[in-house]
Amino acid sequence: MYNLFKLDNGLRVVVENIEYVNSVSVGLWVENGSRNENKANSGISHFIEHMFFKGTENRTALQIAECIEDVGGQINAFTGKEATCFYVKALDSYLELSLDVISDMLFNSKFSPEDIEKEKSVIIEEINMSEDSPEDVLSDLHSVAIWGDDAISLPILGTEDTVKSFTRDQIVKYISSYYIPENSVISIAGKFDPENIEKLVEKYFGNWNSTNKKLTKYSKPEILSKNLFKKKSIEQLHISIGIPGIETGSEDLYSLLLLSNVFGGGASSILFQKIREEKGLCYSIYSYISAFMNTGVVNIYTSLNPKYAADAINMIKEEINKFVQNGISDDKLVKAKEQLKGSYILGLESTSSRMFSNGKSVLFLNKIKTPTDLIEKINRIDRHKLEEVMQKTFAHGIINSSFVGENIDRELLNNILTTEIVSFKSEKSKLV
């Protein structure tokens, strides 16, 4: 049973009662992430996420963790480009404790100067760890290739310089601006008393307000034609390729997800079978969609010996071209729909996954996406719709890319990447 309501202060609350489980997941979603930032305060959203765990007027940092973990629960948080989420999963008898802890972190965190300085060192180490991961470096680099100077391309962790610059006053002011009920959602999924849930949420979040409000409104960034390379002394060359995608909230998103799954979503996909199984050029290759507010992209990732890079990209281009021209057979469409429905339903087997799904949907779309709704949308996908979405996305071919590694033939790759695909025409771009 789903319910969506709003408190007097503008806070949206989405609840899903699941009577047959004995757990409950609670999440506080805030429409604030690295996309809300600028180059001067890049990383502040992620920094604030960390600071909420460093102690309140009522609990030390250890007590925040202990009061949940001592009853067998889990507490954590994450920051993305467009949202931050703080969440607890526990036995259903500890629902009120979960709400108490999250609200205590939100309203009563101390942000002591000493803790801020300590956390700067922790996050700088996190940045260093990310720099040691070619996949992380590649992801941040490709964001710049796709969106250039728009805020959506900023790294979630920020930079060492920006992290070092954060002050308590800056943090408190930022929280009062973006951590507001109008930008937020409480998502609860699991076993609870439906008759009492609104009163319980009101008890802990009903007095939430701010006088320095900044309602989140994201830009509509242009998708650029850029190819960026970053040298890193590693064995393999890591490659991320970009194709125009679909924005969050579009009805075409499910059709694109189906196309992406067929093209590069698993071991039976076109890319995996052609480039790994048939040609043996790489160990890992896959495609996935990145959908955001007002923009989206289809990514293709692979890592391989640099000497195979040109061959692999040429083959990817060739397979994209074939995919656009040939589409999907009726038999494959039926199987792809079942695969998409199965992966979605299997992904909702826990209260936490349902809390995440409901919270994100209400935060960005202001509505609940039920499994029944989504399955109906998948069932309605037909060849005509797929062709329409194909022309918006895959038919444009490769329009941007990023490379992390060394020993690449820039001239050869530039020639490949500027080759016209299908009917799309763009300004020639070069590796820089």
- Amino acid identity of residue 285, one-letter, is I
Q: What pairs with residue 284 in β-bridges?
A: 303
Give CA–CA dist 238/140, Å, rounded: 13
Cα 18–19–24 angle (5° rounding)?
55
- 3-state SS string over 362-413? HHHHCCCCCHHHHHHHHHCCCHHHHHHHHHHCHHHCCCEEEEEECCCCHHHH
Q: What pairs with residue 76 in β-bridges?
A: 87
What residues are labeled active site?
49
Give CA–CA dist 104/94, Å, rounded: 15
C-beta neighbour count of 365 within 10 angstroms: 12
Phi, psi of 261 (to 5 degrees): -65, -40
Q: In terms of Cα–Cα distance, which of 117, 109, 89 is closest to 23?
A: 89
Beta strands in 50-121 (DSSP E): 74-79, 84-91
Measure the N-to-C terminal CA separation of the chain; round to a whole number of Å. Answer: 53
Give CA–CA dist 164/166, Å, rounded: 6
Percent helix / strand / coil, the chain, rounded to 5: 50, 20, 35
In the block, residue with structure tokens 């490709």: 142
Contacts of 387-390 spanning 24+ positions with Cβ under 8 A = 387/327, 388/252, 388/255, 389/246, 389/252, 389/255, 389/256, 389/259, 390/259, 390/323, 390/324, 390/327
